[in-house]
Amino acid sequence: MASPHAGPYHRCMSMEAGRQPITSNGSATSPAAVVEAFLKAMQEEDIEAAMALVDDDIAYTNVSLPTLHGKGRMEKFLAGLDRPQLGFEVYIHAMSTEGSTVLTERTDVLIFGSVRVQLWVCGRFDVHDGRITIWRDYFDWFALTKGVLRGLVGAVVPALGPKPPRS
């Protein structure tokens, strides 16, 4: 179910010339396409589509926080975030792939009611046989704190709130 908060999926950098990320039947064709499809599904709050791109033995880590092991635990965590007042947007600024590893530089927007928290994130995804086996995000706690403060101010005085990320 699409969130009332979910805006359009944002890809700030242009796609590589000639690259076909998704086949006509909707399946991803490369590690980068799997990651893009996963992040888009996350933004659209389509947990079923996101979980279809995750391996049963996934390791999901926000570095400095505990790692979630296994598709079931990750799905349970994500299902807990499926609430009308919560939302997520993603702006991909750069993506690099070497073999089965995809690195992303992006801005994630965490939405809590009228509070929008923008956070720069670097992510690593390992993709094998069309499924994400490792998802590891790196972020700065100080930047998160500033993002929360900007979001709170923006909820009270919208003109002072966060602006959309740029590429």
Domain ranges of the chain: 19-106+120-139
Compute φ and ψ for 32, nearest 5 degrees.
-65, -40
Q: What is the pTM of this model?
A: 0.79
Residues carrying an active site annotation: 108, 137
* Alpha-carbon span 36 to 9, nearest angstrom: 10
pLDDT band at residue 10 using 50, 70 and 90 as cut-offs:
low
Q: What is the topology classification, in CATH, of domain 19-106+120-139? A: Nuclear Transport Factor 2; Chain: A, (3.10.450)
Give the pLDDT confidence of 135-166 residue by residue, as tens digits. Answer: 999 999 888 889 899 899 988 887 777 777 76
What does the pLDDT look like over 100-112, one tens digit per residue?
999 999 999 999 9
